[in-house]
Amino acid sequence: MTTRNLAKSNAHFKKAVSRLPLGVASNFRYWGEDKTLYVDHAKGGKIWDLDGNAYVDYRLGYGPAILGYADDRVDAAVIEGMKVGGVFALATEKEYEVADRIAQMVPSVDLVRFSNSGTEAVMAALRLARAFTKKDGYVLHEGGYHGLFDAAMWAANMSEWVPGSNIDPTVIPYGQGIPKVARQLLHMTPMNDANRVESIFKAHADEIAAILIEPIMGNCCGITADAAYVKAVRELCTKYGVLMIVDEVKSGFRVARGGVQELFGIEADISTFAKALANGYPISAIGGREEIMRKFGQGVAHGGTYTAHSVSIAAAAKTLEIIQETPALETIAQYGKDMQKGMSAVLNARGIVHSFSGHPSMGGLFFAENPPKNYRDWRTSDYTFYDTMAQHLHDQGVLCEPDSREPWFICEAHDKGCLETTLKGFEVAVDLTLEQLKGRMSAAS
């Protein structure tokens, strides 16, 4: 039960729902009539809601605020970007500057095109892959997330899947309004099963343009692929003439300067970037091998009125400069390690088995001895403890996603004070969760 005062947020919800479905601009921002938060302002690693409640924020807009909210360095560059004038249906010099820096940081990228969101970037990447290969099919991983567009909005139906049955979960649309005919182009595979990928390629390579992969699954508890698996997929793509699209919308410029590809030592054919690219300003990028990327403008349509807006491109230029030329990523990763160490101390003292998945800058907390290896592992686990604990964390001023599939994102602005607040609140939340779940079990018996 919520113990914070959310009177103003609750009152605003009642007003907002009269003009906005669910009272918000995105389904994922709706947490219930009495729990949906409305932000008053944010700075560094914290946000404040309409009621004045302060939170150390580990959602960070699902990852974009990698340096922290309202970063003075980025915002100073943005002000200069405003003076340029916005959008012109023409290009500016800053586009080359950012594209060149991306190419320096990510070896697999020769050329770059910009878009406005992660969804747009992945849409363009898949379209490009189809044009280059002259094939329409594609492969997704169970539990992966690649944006809100028809081709990507398919999921493994784990609610009706029977573990150990040797029958794959059925593939269903992620929500209503997805044309059933689109299913015909899709193949789906669990993570970390190279034999499955090869069997799909053997049977259908002549119709598959690309396989999309998030080696660190940004919407599924930070589940991480085995390095051997990622390298095997890379080899299989080369062998069977299938393009490898590495979706780095969340991992790009966060887990390493060269993204997840640097960590795994592989090079994608096409990559997508977005979240950490501009510290929260709306921009995304598609990058890849020159022979593939040159298809843009030579048969493949791509554009957008607000693409490479002078504000967003200025933010990207400064953000990438900071990431490439300062120890920001090392600072972020160390904070993540320190936070996880502190959490482990609390949980170990209470004999609670746990593990962490993902990367310290975007890690998942899992209440089992080992983290999941794929979406099936996550879906068949008991995440009651996490879901219960999340609500108590919010009351303690620690804001994590209430859905256990979302990683904890770290920013450069998270400091010693944030860590102290977090670990103190975490200890209280764990104890409250133990008490609450004990009470439930006693009532059930």
Element (H, E) at 28: none
In the block, tokens 């878009």 appear at 115
**Six-digit token pair at 360?**
């310290």
Q: State the average pLDDT over residues 99-128.
A: 98
Q: Give SS3 for 59.
A: coil
d(CA 109, CA 270): 8
Packed helices 416-444 and 328-349: angle between N→C axes, nearest 10 degrees: 30
Whether 231 contacts 266, CB under 8 Å = yes
Which tens digits make up the pLDDT trace of 261-308?
Answer: 999 999 999 999 999 999 999 999 999 999 999 999 999 999 999 999
Give the other-Cβ count within 10 Å of 79's Cβ: 10
All structural domains of the chain, each given as residue ranges with its CATH number in brackets, are 7-69+327-444 (3.90.1150.10), 72-325 (3.40.640.10)
Give the pLDDT of residue 445.
Answer: 45
Position 1 confidence tier, pLDDT thresholds 50, 70, 90:
low
Report the share of the chain in percent with pLDDT over 70: 98
Position 441 confidence tier, pLDDT thresholds 50, 70, 90:
low
pLDDT above 70 (res 357): yes
Q: Say how many Å lie between the first and final Cα of the chain, rounded.
A: 22
Element (H, E) at 215: none
What is the residue-averaged pLDDT of the chain? 95
Question: Of the candidates 5, 2, 24, which has an alpha carbon nearest to the alpha carbon of residue 13?
Answer: 24
105, 108, 114, 120: CA torsion to nearest 10: -120
Which tens digits make up the pLDDT trace of 380-430?
Answer: 788 899 999 999 999 999 999 998 888 999 999 999 999 999 999 999 999
Whether 353 contacts 134, CB under 8 Å = no
Which tens digits make up the pLDDT trace of 202-244?
Answer: 999 999 999 999 999 998 889 999 999 999 999 999 999 999 9
Residue type present at position 411: C
Question: Of the candidates 270, 237, 234, which has an alpha carbon nearest to the alpha carbon of residue 252?
Answer: 270
Position 361 confidence tier, pLDDT thresholds 50, 70, 90:
very high
User: Which letter does DSSP use for residue 71 in this model?
Assistant: -
d(CA 414, CA 361): 11
- Pick the more confident residue, 439 or 37: 37
pTM of the model: 0.96
pLDDT above 80 (res 332): yes
Question: Of the candidates 350, 336, 283, 310, which has an alpha carbon nearest to the alpha carbon of residue 81?
Answer: 310
What's the Rg (C-alpha) of the chain?
Answer: 22
Burial classification of residue 210, based on how many CB atoms lie within 10 Å of its CB (0-12 exposed, 13-18 middle, 19 or more buried):
buried
Is the C-alpha dihedral spanning 247, 251, 254, 260 positive or negative? Answer: negative
Give the pLDDT of residue 379.
Answer: 80
**Six-digit token pair at 351?**
């004999």
Is the C-alpha dihedral spanning 105, 329, 227, 284 positive or negative? Answer: negative
Give the pLDDT of residue 442.
Answer: 54
Position 2 confidence tier, pLDDT thresholds 50, 70, 90:
low
